[in-house]
Amino acid sequence: MGQRTDRQPDAVDPAWALPAFLRSLQSLSANTQVAYGRDVTQFVEWLARGACADPTDLDHATCRRYLAFLSTRRLAARSVARKAAAMRAYLRYLHRTGVITTDPSRSLRAPKGAARLPRVPRRNEAAAMLDRAGAASTSPDADERGEALALRDVALLELLYGTGVRVSECCGLTLQTCDVRRRHVTVLGKGAKTRRVPLGEPAAAAVRAYLERGRRRLITADTPPDLLFVNSRGRALSPRDARRILERHPLPDGRALHPHVLRHAYATHLLEGGADLRTVQELLGHADLATTQVYTHLTRDRLRAVYEATHPRA
């Protein structure tokens, strides 16, 4: 794997097949691999402390005791749900590969964390942020390098908000997968699934300006030749770099956004504008429509707030 967990799986008894399980996750996103690796390692270490000496001794009651143990640590229900999902995935793998004869996690119930969305910027707030970033890219006081970085920032912000792609997907774009002329981007999403997302004219114009006047000033001899976004050192732009860029471009109220919030804003504003749920699901690359339906609650809450604040008999 390209990512490391918090602990080394090699320290775990080989009977638990932990390294092999971690290798089986390579089709998932890097963040999911790290989270599952950490959670499953913690599960196996808990078992090794006396709950279960060997995979063949695992049973349903042991799995339930582990969930009860997690609850004593005062973890949020959402965290327990994630750890339970990692445990189930691991036990399914052990069953599938013949390490255990039955899956003891079947029918195991775990708390479901409430789906919480961050506060999404309104349309005018997002527009103001993008307009200010665009003005910075045309500042007469900026030198060539400063202008190049500003153009890159605008292109990144416009792409994140204008396409709703995940920050990791955006950082992975190449000159070939970002087609400015045809105005679409092709991204490799979760589960190694590819999807094509339309590129709006503001985003296309920002990317075009970055390619014409910005990127060539940032690349170095070590820059991957087909990479779209690079950082100030000419290396691949990382999600952490993207977060720092957003911190430099806050909303009008001074609030800095996480890149994923722009994805939430993209979905919310599409639904508020009349887009149907299935279309938004395809654009976001969600495998399950239920994941997309979370955004309908947010838009209903906003509509109710407007109604209660403005209607005389609300």
Angle between the N-to-C axes of helices 144-163 and 259-272, in degrees from 0 to 180, rounded to the nearest 10: 50
Angle between the N-to-C axes of helices 60-72 and 30-46, in degrees from 0 to 180, rounded to the nearest 10: 100
Partnered with residue 132 across adjacent β-strands are none
Return d(Cα 50, Cα 270) in angstroms, integer. Answer: 52
Alpha carbon 73 to chain centroid, angstroms: 27
**Closest residue by Cα to residue 224 from 241, 210, 244, 238:** 238
Instruction: Say which amino acid occupies 304.
Output: R
Alpha carbon distances (Å) from 309 to 48, 123, 269, 271, 273: 57, 19, 20, 21, 20
- Active-site positions? 166, 190, 260, 263, 286, 295
Return d(Cα 45, Cα 91) in angstroms, integer. Answer: 15
User: Which single residue is written with the structure tokens 């970002």?
Assistant: 178
CB atoms within 10 A of CB 206: 28
Return d(Cα 241, Cα 237) in angstroms, integer. Answer: 6
Return d(Cα 168, Cα 248) in angstroms, integer. Answer: 19
Instruction: Say which amino acid occupies 255.
Output: R
Return d(Cα 151, Cα 142) in angstroms, integer. Answer: 11
Q: Quote the Cα angle for 289-285-196, to 5°.
A: 140
Return d(Cα 305, Cα 200) in angstroms, integer. Answer: 30
